[in-house]
Amino acid sequence: MWKTEKEFSQYIMSKLTKEGCQCIRIESASTISGMPDMYLMGLADDYFIEFKNMKDKSIKDACWKIPWRPGQQAWALSYHNHHTKRWPEQCTVTKYSWTFVGLKDGVLLIRMAMYYHDNTIGIMNVDDYFVFSKEELTDIMLRRFLQKNTYVVRPVLNHETDTWYDLLSKWVSCICTELYTRGYYPEIDMPCPEDYIDNLHEIIPALTVESLDEPARIIIEENPIIGIKKIYNYLIEMVDCIYNSYCLNKN
């Protein structure tokens, strides 16, 4: 779809600029080894992105061997480690850098969460990458995608005692706390899990009002990570909607 890495990076930079971001090319002979290609700034967010182009590979492939140069994975892992904060018994907040890969029929967006052996990423890393067709990439708000997936809040789950009620409450609390510290949200009262459990039931049928008192680990172990991820994304959207309603009523 893109003949060169330069062509691909210019497409992404143009799209993000139209969405209100400032894109700065930073990789050069004078920067440290492994430094990504681009630094991206939004209103209250920032990102690092490395670009690759693999015009013979497809979004339908089972795995991809990424042409990272020596030092690039090490830089991303160091960045990840330095931007991970842990609060015992509450949550872990992590920030990632990205590798954007242009493919013949779409894009592969990799959240740099670990060291990928042999530069290969595939189904075993399903929580670390996203694929979009050319049509989907045109339609999505890429800046919004980065906002949702660069900063990740994971609650500390007590596998012996925490119920789904505990887990959902922790997730909502973590989302509000983490976003509030970045200046996005005022302190607003959030609904209890039983108020939105019907919507979660549509994502994972095993989640019902009755299951709120069951150990969370049971449903987590029995469902693909993608389903759990959809629940977390739903909670982010819920917090957004509540915040927007708060702003409308305030005005």
Q: Verify that 95 and 16 share a domain, yes or no.
A: yes
Calculated CA dihedral for residues 91, 186, 40, 63, nearest 10 degrees = 40
Position 89 confidence tier, pLDDT thresholds 50, 70, 90? low
Q: Which residues contact 120 (CB under 8 A, 6 or more apart)?
A: 63, 64, 65, 66
Mean of the pLDDT values across residues 85-89? 66
Q: Verify that 38 and 139 share a domain, yes or no.
A: yes
**How many independent structural domains does the chain possess?**
2
The residue type at 150: T
Q: Verify that 122 and 202 share a domain, yes or no.
A: no
Q: Verify that 163 and 105 share a domain, yes or no.
A: no
Q: Verify that 82 and 184 share a domain, yes or no.
A: no
| Percent of the chain topping pLDDT 90 | 39
Distance (Å, whole) CA 179 – CA 188 = 12
For residue 137, which of 112, 95, 103 has the smallest C-alpha distance? 103
Mean of the pLDDT values across residues 103-118? 95
Q: What tokens does 100 get?
A: 């954007």
pLDDT at 93 over 80: no
Burial class (CB in 10 A: 0-12, 13-18, 19+), 33: exposed
Mean of the pLDDT values across residues 46-53? 95
pLDDT at 159 over 60: no
pLDDT at 83 over 90: no
For residue 95, which of 201, 191, 217, 181 has the smallest C-alpha distance? 181
Q: Verify that 145 and 117 share a domain, yes or no.
A: yes
Query: Among the three residues 151, 186, 201, which one is the final residue of a domain in this structure?
Result: 151
Q: Verify that 132 and 173 share a domain, yes or no.
A: no
Extended beta strands in the chain, E state: 22-25, 38-41, 46-54, 63-65, 84-87, 91-95, 98-103, 106-111, 120-122, 129-133, 151-155
Query: Among the three residues 97, 122, 151, which one is the final residue of a domain in this structure?
Result: 151
Distance (Å, whole) CA 93 – CA 141 = 23
Lowest model confidence (mean pLDDT) among 21-35, 125-139, 148-162, 189-203: 148-162
Q: Verify that 61 and 167 share a domain, yes or no.
A: no
Place of tokens 């779409």: 106
Q: Verify that 190 and 83 share a domain, yes or no.
A: no
Structural domain boundaries, residue 212: 157-250
pLDDT at 54 over 90: yes
pLDDT at 251 over 80: no
Let me know: does 28 contact 88? Beta carbons within 8 Å.
no
Q: Verify that 171 and 127 share a domain, yes or no.
A: no
At residue 190, the pLDDT reads 85
Q: Verify that 18 and 113 share a domain, yes or no.
A: yes
Query: Among the three residues 151, 177, 195, which one is the final residue of a domain in this structure?
Result: 151
Q: Verify that 21 and 140 share a domain, yes or no.
A: yes
